[in-house]
Amino acid sequence: MEVGYSQVDFSRDIQPIFAEHCTKCHGSEKPKGGLDMTKRAGIVKRLKSGGQAVTPHHPEKSELLRRLSTSDPDELMPPKDEDKKLSAEQQALIRQWISSGAQWSTHWAYRPLSKTAPAKIRDAQWIRNTTDQFVLDKLKAAGVEPSPMADRYTLVRRLYYDLLGLPPTPKEVDNFVNNRTADAYEILVDRLLSSRHFGERWARHWLDMARYADSDGYEKDRPRPNAWRYRDWVINSINNDMPFDQFTIEQLAGDLLPNATGRQKLATAFNRQTLTNTEGGTDREQWRVAAVMDRVETIGSVWLGLTVSCARCHDHKYDQLSQKEYYQFFAYFNNGDESSASVPRSQKDYTDWLATKTEHDKQLESLRSLIASHNKVLEGKMPELEQKLLKKIKTQQSNPEKFHTLDLASAKGPKGVIFKKQEDGSLLVSGANPAKAKYTLEFDTSVNDITGLKIEVLPDKSLSANGPGRTQHGNFVLNDVRVYATDKAKFNANQHRVPLVSARSNYSQKDWPAKNSIDGNVAEGKNGTGWAIANQYGKEHYLIISTTRSISFKEPTRLQVVLDQQYGTQHTIGRFRITARTGHAPNDGIPASIVQAVQIRKDKRHPSQTKALLDYFSKNDPKIKQLQLKLGKPAPKPPVMSVRVISERTKSPRTTHILHRGEFKQPRDRVAALTPEILPSYENQAQGDRLDLARWLVSGKNPLVARVTVNHIWGNLFGEGIVRTPDDFGIRGQAPTHPKLLDWLANELISNKWSRKKVIKLIVTSATYRQSSTHRPELENRDPSNRLLHRQNRFRVEAEIIRDLNLAASGMLSRKIGGPSVFPPLPAGVAAVSYANNFKWATSKGADRNRRGLYTFFKRTAPHPNLLTFDCPDSNVTCIKRSRSNTPLAALTTLNNEVFSEAAKALGNRLIQEKENDSDRIIYGFRLCVARTPTISEQESLQSLLNAARKYYRAHKTEAMIYNGETEASAWAATARVMLNMDEFITRE
Amino acid sequence: MDNSDQLELSLNNQARRDFLTTSACGIGGVALSSMLLEDGLLGSEFANPMAPSKPHFEAKAKACIFIFMAGAPSHLDLFDPKPVLNKRDGQKLPKEILDKARFAFIQPNTATLKGSNRTFKAHGQCGMELSDYLPHLGTVADDLLLVRSMHTDEFNHHPGQLLMQCGVSRFGMPTMGSWLTYGLGSESQNLPGYVVLNAGRGSSGGATLWQSGFLPSTYEGVLFRPQGEPVLNLDNPKGLPPELQRLGLDTLLQLNKGRYEKVQDPEISSRIANYELASRMQTTAPELIDLSKETNSTKNAYGLNRPEVKGGGRGKLGNTYQDFARNCLLARRLVERGVRFINIVYASWDHHSNLDPELKYNAGAVDQPIAALIKDLKQRGMLDSTMVVWGSEFGRTPLGENRGGRAANTGRDHHPFCFSMALAGGGIKGGQIYGKTDEIGWEVEKNPVHPNDLHATMLNRFGINHEKLTYRFQGRDFRLTDVAGKVIQDWIA
């Protein structure tokens, strides 16, 4: 047995047995035989039968043990028909537990953080900070010496890999190696922690847990073009060392903070990394509930290190979480609705915009003051203006509106469209049904003083949905009406356009009012404006357009009317009638309220009427009109974009119920938001919303959050956490290798105001971290998985980092930080396995080909194979710990894949360019990859490969041409390719 | 007992120990560079996760070819004739049935039953009734176990496909092939143990249908590609010849070996072995897909040279008829080379409309090659140890689909309550029909089979107790059959 526990631990060893085999019948509610096995008091009390299940220290006086092993089938527990007899080993554990006093302890992870100081070790030379005391304490107890400090080349490379995920350049290596001052190491650590690449490296750890992706998941797996905004938020937050409590609150409930900023809202996109099922025929409630469950379970894993998902359907078998508690937790999230928020595209764009906007606002200010002063002038001219208006109204009233039929001379439309004249003078459109149309109609009339046109659109049985439009549903869009007129004899359409002034209709669709039919804006779809009638299909509607001046000619007049309909998808008119108008509506162009106001005597007017009149005159004053036009110049649009976030449902909030067997269609008892009983409660709970939950997590009293978080950090710096099941701090997980160290670090995190950078610095400056990672054969049997931390661990880096290292060593890496996801080369055919081959991968050009791996577009149903081959998580569920496989496909990838092949060629070229001779080039290349100088034998190996490659390419010029251009370049590429495939290069040592 | 020791007891480590005791001459009997052995580099820590290992009990099946018909083919028009349904064509269903059911697109108020236009004929000595669209499959009826009583919990494609592949519809779970290779390793040390072949349109599940979930990616399905290099990144960069590849790998071996000597990390020896295996795959994979040594009669039997037929829906890739035939032939060749699990994915059977012509197209694509595969395996004496499975995520409604805006009911909607599957070989008793649905094919009437039962029985044929093939993840011992699954004794030959 390895170093670990020799004593029985109740929560680890005994409670799971009770949970699995006993508490179904001997639980706290109606326990059989009066025996309640969920608490110590229940198990040591005298039972109805007279016996005592457990007598501490006396296994022989414990009925429980007898009943577990009795040969009497009627007395045996668990009952025979359950077919679950306890194994001899399990019985032995229970016996040992009773012998040692039957202590009923709380599982270590739920206990408050301990504040025990480490033992003072006399021989403390090795120790650099408190971390090391805990480690050395344990090593000494086991009689093991720590490993020596790694050499300086390994140290600098280790720090670069761990903190930046990039290799140090030979110059950076030399700077450190040759700096023998005492604080050289610490200076290096500080420099790396303040590098912007630190945020990229550590953001990726967080994104694993956040299940970040650039697409919806499930069948359709639609892209999420704005998902990267959340990734940028994480990178920036980590670079700015946002305290972990704030980091938590903003992501879980940023929208609920008072005066939430755009960024705080953006942070809640953490909860929007859930999958979205847009497959046809899905039940929205089913997938909403599934998403909420995923949020709950993700928080359980990420912050609490607990697998809460079991309790979806039933009480957790091992951990103290009931199904009821699961849904109480669920309730915190049940009213967090999926929504979107506008956030600045980038900080720079936003600042630039603010400057332009200020300038714009200044101009508006001066225009407004000009208008105000001119209004003063108008105010003085009020009596005169009122007289004019009264006269106009009188004329209009004396000449009421009349409509006159017109003689159709011709009707033209797109090819194949037929106009049939109907008995009521209307035209019915049939024949071809093009997507867009322009109807040109010509009429002759002897009517004079034409003041406008009436266009009636009419239903007809021959039209789909009865019209009046020719779409399936009966709508149309009339983008623009143009009218031309002259003497019939001298008609020339282009030169006699009639200006139109206003339009009204009996009905118009929202956002498609009558006035849009004369605004001259003609374009497809929503790029254009026009008049339309959605929701009132199959009925008559009319549009009346007024001309600026009346139309009169001595001879009969020829009128040409153009109905322009460019919306597309057959939004054209199916039946219509055009008549000419003479006279005026009583208040044609004059609002009724104005007609009323002007007719009241001045002294009897209500002040608001006086103001309305002035406004009316002002609005119609040519000078003011001109100023208003300038004023109406649109303000520069803010550079914002829409992102997926969570916001709290305020209208008809949902109640939460226990879902029987986790099924959304089977709600049972109602529950309210409450934190699990096993953990300290939150006294200040307000609404029972996400903000409460988030504050509870980071209140400092919750022992799990700080432990789990420092364990993540430790895991990233040692390859293994202090708890080696970082996703499971529950009873079935592993106990910490160094429990006191874990608690001490957790306390450090809290007392350092949740600064992760400080904790990272503390750890990486420890002697424990600085140990050599060389394996120690003498300890391989005693401590094979290094639970004592007798050395550093040596492990392969992650998928993204492997590529980053290759690109960096070859000099190809683009160091741009943040921004939209990119599309590095993808082998042909990979994207095609996604649903119905619906995804096209347009490879990025220029520098975006060579961005860091974390920026690669992540399509959930067809992820980049270079990522998956090296165990990048599929991002469908939270990933707390990546696996590290070692496969032939991985070897093929780094040998042959386009990205890696390009890197080998680029590195070959770089060596030729930057160094003079073979030896220098080999050393330089080797150092670009692994920091240290190659040994003589390593140099010789590479030199002989180079020689062979050179010889080959000299004899095969065409092959050289194909591979990397010419002999030397190809020979060096073949050599560099081997350097980039060294185990050492992709391993953090 | 220490928790860490408990972890050591996972099956994989058992496999590791079995391997170490049984193979004295390197990885699974394949000789590595002699240099490695001389230097004792393959130390006791070295383990090949894909080394073949012993099952729990004697196995009948050694390999599985799972032919996954993504999108849900209509059982009513292929496998499960329903004369009563035909008679009631156009009639409504009782309201209480409609109220209970969920539909994707059907409007329950106006939905009517839709009879099948297919004719069914009895085949083989067992008299198995199959649709006129499956004439070739009829010729192997006596080898087939036709299951008419499958049912599932999932109603939408992707979750349904996950349930069929992983036994659970949640994400992040391993697929069947991952479980099987995790449990048994692979006989082939020159090819991946779990291979995926794809034809037709992409499926709803995409790459998640061959994911390894929480198992290491060693156990993930490797997609063989119809065009170009058969395995991703198999070919050397253009202009880099095999002799330089060999020299490069030798140099790399020296460098890695040197590092191993210095730092003593067994992971390095594992990496060295994987580079060697990769290098072997560069020879074996092209040899695998080279069909020039197959006779013309074999190729014709599979339908390798059939002309492409019009149909197949949007997003179709390549020549579906020939691709599918080729995949079936490749599956046999993979089994011959010791590959454990082959997943042939074909999409899509999601016939919400245009059922008859589209079904004809799809059945035409797969009928002949599958029948040929079964005959070919049998003739070579491989069928007894190779399990062939034909299946999908769910079935289709006996109701016609009356989705709003559609002129006619020419299709069927999703139907999780019953569907059909077919199995052959690998210790499965053929020539029988198992289970029964009601007279209109709405629900299972007799012997219901859940995917967990299917998986339990499949694993049984591989000598695996499905309750004991587990992997500890997040504190729980997971298995392919979740918390259920019964071995169906009637299926066992």
Task: Kindly report the nearest CA distance between residue B169 and chain A, in angstroms.
Answer: 11
| Per-residue model confidence (pLDDT) at position A492 | 64
DSSP A494: G
DSSP B108: T
State the Cα–Cα distance between residues B418 and B408, nearest whole angstrom: 25
Task: Kindly report the nearest CA distance between residue B307 and chain A, in angstroms.
Answer: 22
In order, the DSSP letters of A646-703 are EEE--SSPPPEEEEGGG-TT-EEEEE-----TTS---TT--SSSHHHHHHHHTSS--H
Q: Single out the residue of B346, B412, B413 nearest to residue B198, CA to CA.
A: B346
Q: Which residue has the tokens 């000299």?
A: A954
| Per-residue model confidence (pLDDT) at position B229 | 83
* pLDDT tens profile A758-781: 999 999 999 999 999 999 999 988
Task: Kindly report the nearest CA distance between residue A970 and chain B, in angstroms.
Answer: 9
State the Cα–Cα distance between residues A343 and A806, nearest whole angstrom: 35
Question: Which tokens in the block code for residue A111?
Answer: 């206990």
- Report CA-CA distances (Å) from A928 to A773, A808, A850, A907, B262: 21, 9, 18, 9, 20
State the Cα–Cα distance between residues A979 and A973, nearest whole angstrom: 10
| Per-residue model confidence (pLDDT) at position A57 | 92
Nearest CB neighbour to A774, from listed B247, B264, B317: B264
Question: Which tokens in the block code for residue A255?
Answer: 């929208």
Which residues, other chains included, contact B90 with Cβ-Cβ below 8 Å and sequence gap of 6+? B112, B113
Test B274 with A89 for CB contact under 8 angstroms. Answer: no
Chain A CB contacts of B155 under 8 Å are 283
Task: Kindly report the nearest CA distance between residue A877 and chain B, in angstroms.
Answer: 6
Chain B CB contacts of A901 under 8 Å are 237
Mutate to test the interface with B, among A870, A983, A988 (most CBs of B within 10 A): A983
State the Cα–Cα distance between residues A987 and A173, nearest whole angstrom: 17
**Residue A650: how many CA atoms within 13 Å on its side-chain side?**
3
| Per-residue model confidence (pLDDT) at position A20 | 77
Test B206 with A835 for CB contact under 8 angstroms. Answer: yes
| CB interface of B with A, residues 353-412, below 8 Å | none
Phi and psi at residue A559, to the nearest 5°: -110, 135
B283 touches chain A (CB under 8 A): no
DSSP B345: E
| Per-residue model confidence (pLDDT) at position B10 | 35
State the Cα–Cα distance between residues A262 and A254, nearest whole angstrom: 9
The answer as to CATH 3.40.720.10 being correct for domain B63-231+305-491 is yes
Chain B CB contacts of A725 under 8 Å are 474-475
Test B237 with A959 for CB contact under 8 angstroms. Answer: no
Test A888 with B274 for CB contact under 8 angstroms. Answer: yes
Q: Are A729 and A213 in contact (CB under 8 A)?
A: no
- Report CA-CA distances (Å) from A93 to A10, A63, A68, A86, A98: 10, 15, 12, 11, 9
Test B158 with A279 for CB contact under 8 angstroms. Answer: yes
Chain B CB contacts of A7 under 8 Å are none
Q: Single out the residue of B377, B455, B345, B258 nearest to residue A935, CA to CA.
A: B258
Q: Are B392 and B71 in contact (CB under 8 A)?
A: yes
Chain B CB contacts of A962 under 8 Å are 238-239
Q: Are A437 and A525 in contact (CB under 8 A)?
A: no
B12 touches chain A (CB under 8 A): no
Mutate to test the interface with A, among B103, B251, B268, B317 (most CBs of A within 10 A): B251
State the Cα–Cα distance between residues B246 and B254, nearest whole angstrom: 12
- List of chain A residues with pLDDT < 70: 1-6, 81-83, 121-123, 317-318, 491-495, 586-587, 589, 832-834, 836-837
State the Cα–Cα distance between residues A103 and A14, nearest whole angstrom: 10
| CB interface of B with A, residues 127-186, below 8 Å | 155-159, 170-172
- In this structure, which amino acid lies at residue A339? S
Alpha-carbon dihedral angle through residues A252, A258, A264, A269, given to the nearest 10 degrees: 40
Strands (E), B3-107: 63-70
SS3 B119: coil
Q: What residue spans of B337-439 are helical by DSSP H?
A: 355-379
Task: Kindly report the nearest CA distance between residue B86 and chain A, in angstroms.
Answer: 26
- Report CA-CA distances (Å) from A573 to A454, A469, A473, A536: 15, 4, 12, 14
Query: In chain A, which residue's Cα lies nearest the Cα of B154?
Result: A282
Test B414 with A868 for CB contact under 8 angstroms. Answer: no
Q: Please give the interface size between A and B, counted as residue pairs whose CB atoms are below 8 Å apart.
A: 271
B232 touches chain A (CB under 8 A): yes
Chain B CB contacts of A731 under 8 Å are 475
Test A948 with B247 for CB contact under 8 angstroms. Answer: yes
B485 touches chain A (CB under 8 A): no
State the Cα–Cα distance between residues A955 and A147, nearest whole angstrom: 51
Test A282 with B104 for CB contact under 8 angstroms. Answer: yes
Mutate to test the interface with A, among B168, B210, B217 (most CBs of A within 10 A): B217
| CB interface of B with A, residues 416-445, below 8 Å | none
| CB interface of B with A, residues 61-100, below 8 Å | none
Test A837 with B317 for CB contact under 8 angstroms. Answer: yes
Q: Categorise residue B423: left if φ over 0, alpha if ψ from -120 to 50, beta otherwise.
A: beta
- Report CA-CA distances (Å) from A705 to A255, A674, A694, A752: 22, 17, 11, 15
Mutate to test the interface with B, among A285, A779, A889 (most CBs of B within 10 A): A889
State the Cα–Cα distance between residues B187 and A823, nearest whole angstrom: 38
Q: Which residues of A924-958 are buried (b: 16+ CB within 10 A; e: fewer)?
A: bbbbbbbbbebeeebbebbbebbebbbebbeebee
CA R_g for chain B: 24
| Per-residue model confidence (pLDDT) at position B27 | 33
Question: Which tokens in the block code for residue A146?
Answer: 């720590």
B108 touches chain A (CB under 8 A): no
Test A896 with B414 for CB contact under 8 angstroms. Answer: no
Which residues, other chains included, contact A122 with Cβ-Cβ below 8 Å and sequence gap of 6+? none
| Per-residue model confidence (pLDDT) at position A791 | 97
State the Cα–Cα distance between residues A22 and B404, nearest whole angstrom: 55
| Per-residue model confidence (pLDDT) at position B374 | 98
Tally Cβ neighbours within 10 Å of residue A378. 16
| Per-residue model confidence (pLDDT) at position B46 | 43
Query: In chain B, which residue's Cα lies nearest the Cα of A733?
Result: B475
| Per-residue model confidence (pLDDT) at position B40 | 39
Chain B CB contacts of A780 under 8 Å are 45
Task: Kindly report the nearest CA distance between residue A683 and chain B, in angstroms.
Answer: 30
Nearest CB neighbour to B202, from listed A727, A796, A833: A833
Task: Kindly report the nearest CA distance between residue A107 and chain B, in angstroms.
Answer: 14
Mutate to test the interface with B, among A96, A215, A796, A861 (most CBs of B within 10 A): A861
Q: Single out the residue of A810, A793, A978 nearest to residue A884, CA to CA.
A: A793
Mutate to test the interface with A, among B171, B415, B471 (most CBs of A within 10 A): B171
* Consecutive H or E run containing A865: helix A865-869
- In this structure, which amino acid lies at residue A821? S
Q: Categorise residue B319: left if φ over 0, alpha if ψ from -120 to 50, beta otherwise.
A: beta
How far is C-alpha A864 from the chain's CA centre? 19
Nearest CB neighbour to B259, from listed A732, A869, A983: A983
- List of chain B residues with pLDDT < 70: 1-47, 313-317, 404-407
Test B233 with A12 for CB contact under 8 angstroms. Answer: no
SS3 A121: coil
Chain A CB contacts of B347 under 8 Å are 836
B107 touches chain A (CB under 8 A): no
| Per-residue model confidence (pLDDT) at position A83 | 64
Alpha-carbon dihedral angle through residues B79, B84, B87, B91, given to the nearest 10 degrees: -100
Which residues, other chains included, contact A951 with Cβ-Cβ below 8 Å and sequence gap of 6+? none
Q: Are B70 and B349 in contact (CB under 8 A)?
A: yes
Mutate to test the interface with B, among A151, A219, A792, A962 (most CBs of B within 10 A): A219
State the Cα–Cα distance between residues A533 and A322, nearest whole angstrom: 56
Test A883 with B216 for CB contact under 8 angstroms. Answer: yes
Q: Are A82 and A32 in contact (CB under 8 A)?
A: no
